[in-house]
Amino acid sequence: MTVAMLDALISEYVAGDLPEPARVLVASHIEMKPSSAMMARTLEAFAGESLEAAKTRALVSGDRCMENIMRSPSPALRLVQPREKHHVLPQALRDHLGYDLADVPWKTKLPGLKQHMIEHDKDDGSEMSLLWARPGRALPNHTHEGLELTLVLDGDFHDHRGTFGRGDVSVADEDLDHRPVAGMTKPCLCLSVLFAPIVLSGSKMGLLGDILGL
C-alpha cells in the first residue's frame, strides 16, 4: 500500500471515524509497527493541542456553562501497548475476538486454505475474517467490488505489487486485479476486512488450478 493510504487509515483511526472491523485492523497494525504507533501518538497530541486551543476560545467568550463543559478532559485515544509475552495475534485483535490463536475455530475453505469468519454484515455485505494459507498457496486471481484491507499477522504473501510481511497492510479496491501467493518459508496468517465481495478473474484453467491448490 502507499504511504498516503496508510497515513489516511491511521488518521481516521485517531479521529474515531473507522467502522469497527477496520478500527480493529488498524489498531492491530499500530501495535505491530512502532513507526505507525509513533504517527498515531503524534496525531493524537496534535488533536489534543487543537482541543486546548478551542477551550481557550470558549473561555474568552465568557459563557460560564460552555466554559465548564470545555474544561472537562476529553477521552484520550487508548493506543494498545504490546505485552511482554509474545502472541501471534495482536492484543487489539485478541480483545475483539475474546480468544487467542490456539482457540480459532478454523474451517477449510479450499485445499491449503483455511478461514475463520469473525463477522459478516448481511446488510452491507462487509465481512471480517482470519485467513490461513499453507506455504506457497496461491489465492485465485480476483478483483474487488469495493475496499479490502489485509493485515499480515504472520508469514508473508506477495503479488505484483511486492511482498507484504508481518504488520504490513495491503489495501485493494476496484482498480486492483491480483493473485496473492503465500511465502514459501512458513504459513501465511492474515486478518481480512472486506467492504464488498471479491470477483474472480483470469483464465478458467488458471482459476481451476488455484481453487484446487495446484
Asked whether residue 91 is assigned to any structural domain, the reply reads no
How many percent of the chain have pLDDT more than 90?
A: 53
Asked whether residue 9 is assigned to any structural domain, the reply reads yes
Do 42 and 63 reside in the same domain of the chain? yes
Q: Which residue matches cell numbers 481557550?
A: 56
Which domain, by its residues, includes 25? Answer: 3-85
pLDDT value of position 157: 97
8 Å CB contact between 29 and 7: no
Do 40 and 102 reside in the same domain of the chain? no
At residue 200 the predicted structure's pLDDT band, cuts being 50, 70 and 90, is confident
Domain boundary pick from 31, 53, 85:
85
Do 128 and 151 reside in the same domain of the chain? yes
Determine phi and psi for 190, rounding to 5 degrees. -135, 155
pLDDT value of position 125: 74
The total number of structural domains in the chain stands at 2
Is pLDDT at 196 greater than 50 in this prediction? yes
Do 25 and 127 reside in the same domain of the chain? no
Asked whether residue 90 is assigned to any structural domain, the reply reads no
Do 199 and 116 reside in the same domain of the chain? yes
- Across the range 194-213, mean pLDDT stands at 70
- Across the range 49-54, mean pLDDT stands at 47
CA–centroid distance for 158 within its chain: 17
CA–centroid distance for 50 within its chain: 27
CATH number of the domain residue 159 falls in: 2.60.120.10
What is this structure's pTM? 0.78
